[in-house]
């Protein structure tokens, strides 16, 4: 089974709300060949929860599934892709191309509780749609962005505010003696308090299509804590 086949396998298994003996054997064989690390097992676990969420119509039941997933992350932390006990997962991505874009969208898709976003600008609708989808799932999104860039043509900030997402702008300080103002130029985000995304990559189509940029995705607790502290400081300032 490739990843697409695996998702179809999960869907078919869920159809009768049972996991048969044959399905258990097939799943175990697939895991042996394709998920031989804790991080990969965490991704598989996440995929199973996503299939379950998609089959639940009752919004309250979806919250029950989210509760169960959070409990299992504590009971079986080895299964968590972002908080594996005793290990740090770090990956680098580069543009032009869609590697950076794909990882940003992926992390919003995996977020379950919180997403603290501190970025210069957002004009790529593919990223905006991922943020809005996370918000609709109940993820608490907080955003800090640049005041001037929020007025640019194509800025998605108005969409976030209209959807009820908390947004703060760096407009508390006026121009200096030379008539200049500083920019909130960060490009980082923290997901569920355990995963950090940071780099030069602007959240724009131009960054994906033309610019030489980078992002790093890491679960290093020291780095996550440092950026979380900076986000808190800026959030309180603005």
Catalytic residues: 185, 187, 192
Token pair 């998920």 is found at 35
Of 156, 103, 110, whose CA–CA distance to 137 is shortest? Answer: 110
Length of the chain measured in residues: 238
3-state secondary structure of 5: helix
Beta-strand runs (E) in the chain: 90-95, 114-119, 140-145, 166-169, 187-191, 195-199, 213-218
Instruction: Report which DSSP code applies to 222.
Output: H
**Token pair belonging to 234:** 């800026």
* Cβ partners under 8 Å of residue 85, min gap 6: 77, 78
Distances (CA, A) of 22 to 35, 46, 98, 231: 19, 22, 38, 49
Note whether 159 and 128 are within 8 A (CB): yes
31 vs 164: CA distance, rounded Å:
40
Tokens 């299964």 found at: 79
Measured distance CA(104)–CA(133) in Å, rounded? 13
């Amino acid at each position: 089974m490739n990843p697409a086949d695996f998702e179809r396998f999960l869907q078919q298994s869920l159809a009768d709300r049972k996991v048969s003996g044959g399905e258990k054997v097939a799943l175990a064989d697939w895991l042996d060949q394709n998920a031989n690390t804790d991080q990969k097992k965490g991704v598989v676990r996440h995929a199973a929860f996503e299939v379950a969420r998609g089959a639940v119509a009752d919004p309250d039941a979806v919250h029950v599934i989210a509760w169960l997933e959070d409990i299992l992350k504590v009971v079986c932390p080895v299964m968590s892709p972002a908080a594996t006990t005793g290990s740090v997962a770090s990956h680098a991505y580069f543009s032009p191309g869609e590697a950076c874009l794909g990882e940003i969208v992926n992390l919003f898709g995996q977020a379950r509780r919180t997403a603290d976003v501190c970025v210069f600008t957002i004009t790529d609708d593919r990223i905006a749609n991922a943020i809005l989808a996370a918000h609709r799932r109940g993820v608490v999104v907080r955003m800090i962005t640049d005041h001037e860039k929020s007025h640019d043509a194509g800025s998605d900030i108005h969409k976030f505010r209209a959807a009820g997402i908390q947004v703060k702008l760096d407009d508390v300080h006026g121009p200096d003696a030379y008539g200049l103002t500083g920019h909130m130029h960060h490009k980082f985000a923290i997901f569920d308090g355990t995963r950090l995304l940071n780099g030069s990559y602007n959240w724009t189509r131009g960054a994906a299509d033309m610019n030489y940029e980078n992002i790093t995705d890491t679960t290093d607790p020291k780095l996550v804590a440092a950026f979380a502290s900076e986000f808190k400081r800026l959030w309180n300032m603005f």
